[in-house]
Each structure stands twice: as C-alpha cells, then as structure tokens.
Chain A
C-alpha cells in the first residue's frame, strides 16, 4: 500500500498571502496524483489531477507541481473561500487508492 503523508497538518495564512502544501508518497506514483478541497459539510472537490492540471472551473491561483514522491499544491493569493481542508490522493498503484491525512488551511 502506498502511504501518502501531508504536511503541515494545519497552515495558518492571512488572506492574500501564498499557501504551500506538501504531499509525499511512500513510493513513486509518477504524476498520478490529485488534490481535493473539502469545506465543512461538503463533499471533496477535485482541484488538480495529473499532479499539475487544474480541473474544470478551478481558478488559476491553484497550481500543483511535482512527480515521483514529492508534490506541492500552491495557492498564490488566498481568498476567503479557500480556507478549507486539502487532501492529496494517489491513483497510480491500486488497490488500494490512498489519500493523505489532509492539511487544514485556516485564517491567521
């Protein structure tokens, strides 16, 4: 099983600032890595797939990078609606599909 580790667990950021979230895989997942955003009481929403491709309708302030075992999600200028929990997920080698433990982005 591929273990996905996200850091930090919580990130405190002021509106307008940049947020950088990390995700590490226990073995290579190539670029078969997705990022999801989850707000309280809502289902996760796909943000990024293929490590760096934005899903339909996702603003350009969200960007993803990385390959192999190290990945980054960057939110260039945080808006109020971006405060949420973010999960990475690998879909390269399954079963099982695996998710990271999440990073909560909170208002500083």
Chain B
C-alpha cells in the first residue's frame, strides 16, 4: 500500500523559506511516476503548487514559480518543497500526492501538514 507522509515546521516567519518533505513508502520513487505538492488555505479550495518527475523534471504553478523549488531524493525515497519569501497568504495545509502519469489525477495523498506563517 502506497503511503505518503509530509513533515516539516508548522510555523514559519514572514520572509523566510518554508521547507517540507514528503516520505513515500510502499513504492520506490526511482521506479517512476510524478510527485506533487498541493495546498489548501484554511476554509478554502485546493491549489496545485508543482510536481516533479522521478528523473528530476519539474513543473510549477506559474503563480508561484519564482518562489518554488521541488526536488527529489531517490536514496531516501522522498521529495521536498521549498517556498521562499513567505507571507501570511502562504498559511495553508500542504499535501503531497502522486500522479501515475503526466496526464493523470492524484491517486494517493498524504494526510497533510499545516504550516502557519506568523512572526
């Protein structure tokens, strides 16, 4: 059974960099597929942040592209998100998820981790 688990600081100061990791179990990232990050501000809808292919190709939401970096560490079977220069508007539940192909939905999701941006 594929499982994804997000981890990282729950509180980040404004202007700093948000860093999260998604650990994958039950499937080897090195075997393929796309791995993505999605966020959801409290009480609001879902926003795709970006995705990475196991080989390292990245795809970012143009609205966040200048501040986002997604990377993969196949040796640890995990992938990571960095979002720089955060503001209160970046406060959200952050989810990691899997896509089996470029043209495919997200079939497995992590439980999510809440990140609050506040001084």
> Residues of A contacting B45 with CB < 8 Å?
87, 99-102
CB of A55 within 8 A of CB of B107, answer yes
Would B59 and A94 count as touching, CB distance under 8 A?
yes
Chain A CB within 8 A of B53 CB? no
Taking a contact as CB atoms under 8 Å apart, the answer to whether A43 and B107 are in contact is no
Chain B residues with Cβ below 8 Å from A102 are: 45-46
A96 near B95 (CB under 8 angstroms)? no
Could you show 20 A-B contacts with beta carbons less than 8 Å apart? Answer: A36-B105, A36-B106, A42-B111, A43-B110, A43-B111, A44-B46, A46-B106, A46-B107, A49-B104, A49-B107, A89-B46, A95-B48, A95-B50, A97-B36, A97-B61, A98-B48, A99-B45, A99-B46, A99-B48, A102-B45
Q: A43-B109, A91-B103, A95-B59 are in contact. List 9 more A-B contacts (CB 8 A).
A: A36-B46, A36-B106, A44-B106, A92-B103, A97-B51, A99-B46, A99-B47, A102-B45, A102-B46
